[in-house]
Structure 1
């Protein structure tokens, strides 16, 4: 039983032994949506017979021309996503509450009844000061939230799907490896063709359902992460 428990603990460690002394590998692009969109055969467009005027004219609306529309508009096209996040939020709240109350009731004379009761009460007790209460409560609370995020990136994305309503689904991945650390950027979402600029660019705030992931993996990232045992301990222990 002990050997089985040790084997279970060593399985995650054994999976990392193959990466010792090696740089992190890139994620394969084969099999992704971008790969299928780039290598898919487009539907042939209906070509009208060109006359002498069109053949000799410098003005043409084709995407390969100087004056044509170069914006992404169909599956397999590429556009640039501009990410410029400079958000700052600051919230500060404070509240206070104070309450003081006192109440007293005395019955010095009531047909001589208090005097008769005083004879039966313990020494020092008197109906002249029958009830006396007081209360005091104080509450104070204060909280603050400060966030500051700044990110400036540009990444090329591929149109992987054209929806029936004309909206384009895009997906972009970028990986840069420096020594033994790999930096990766992933962008996905939905865009309208009308929001794409003439420079074939679109800002992140015009992407619906945007999913932007910026991180890295490698030796430095592994050192910064807690060990598996510590993560399990933090999850299991109630204190």
Structure 2
């Protein structure tokens, strides 16, 4: 290979590597020796991927007010309900996940097949097979096929998770039936590692306790994410070249 073609191939490899690395590699290089930055506080409804929740709503019901009544419907306090109920109110989401799953699966399969075909007579033309087919052609043993295949597989899953967290969330939307849409994000940086917690979903006002908390299993369409970014998370991830190789390698 000529030096020019070698140089061009090397430049192409560098270009491909740069494209695969993307902006992530550039941002990581700019933060060498620095702590991972925390993101600024933002309005959840102003984020690029934010979309208002639209769910099927029941027919509106007119609230009946009782004359001379000191109590409001759904109130848990004599003077005022302290629970979150309006856009911008804050409540605490209690996440207590104890999940355990065990699964064993085994499959096996085997198959044998054989086929044969002969042509002893064909209008007297069977003797001309030697002229049509190369070599010694035998009409009594014209076609023969055999196949043998077998496969076996085994899989096992043994998972156990225990997560106990509390995160403050913000009411971002009040649906027509009174249900509340919440969104909460928490970031904690310890040395060079940032732990991120995100929770979102739809809750009923009646499921909010008197201490202004709601358990995670009362959240409909719940989206809970707990992870991190930083030096430890970076070491635990395979290099981008290995990830690309695992995707495109067919074997």
Distance 1:217 1:94, change over 3 A: closer
- In the alignment, what sits opposite 1:197? 209
Q: State the shift of 1:173 in Å.
A: 0.5
Q: State the shift of 1:5 in Å.
A: 3.5
Q: Which runs of 5+ in 1 are unaligned?
A: 36-58, 98-138
Q: Which runs of 5+ in 2 are unaligned?
A: 1-7, 48-69, 110-150
- In the alignment, what sits opposite 1:6? 14
Q: State the shift of 1:93 in Å.
A: 5.6
Determine which structure has more spread, i.e. the larger CA radius of gyration: 1
Contact 2:95–2:164 (CA<8 Å) still a contact in 1?
Answer: yes
Number of equivalent positions:
174
SS of the residue 1:231 aligns to: helix
* Range that drifts further, 221-230 or 10-19: 10-19
Distance 1:238 1:143, change over 3 A: closer
Q: Distance in 2 between matches of 1:141 and 1:230?
A: 26
Q: State the shift of 1:222 in Å.
A: 0.7
Contact 1:60–1:68 (CA<8 Å) still a contact in 2?
Answer: no
Distance 1:205 1:95, change over 3 A: same
Using structure 2 for the length normalisation, give the TM-score: 0.61
SS of the residue 1:199 aligns to: coil
SS of the residue 1:25 aligns to: coil
SS of the residue 1:230 aligns to: helix
Q: State the shift of 1:170 in Å.
A: 0.3
Q: State the shift of 1:21 in Å.
A: 1.1
Distance 1:21 1:94, change over 3 A: closer
Superposed CA RMSD? 3.1
Distance 1:21 1:87, change over 3 A: same
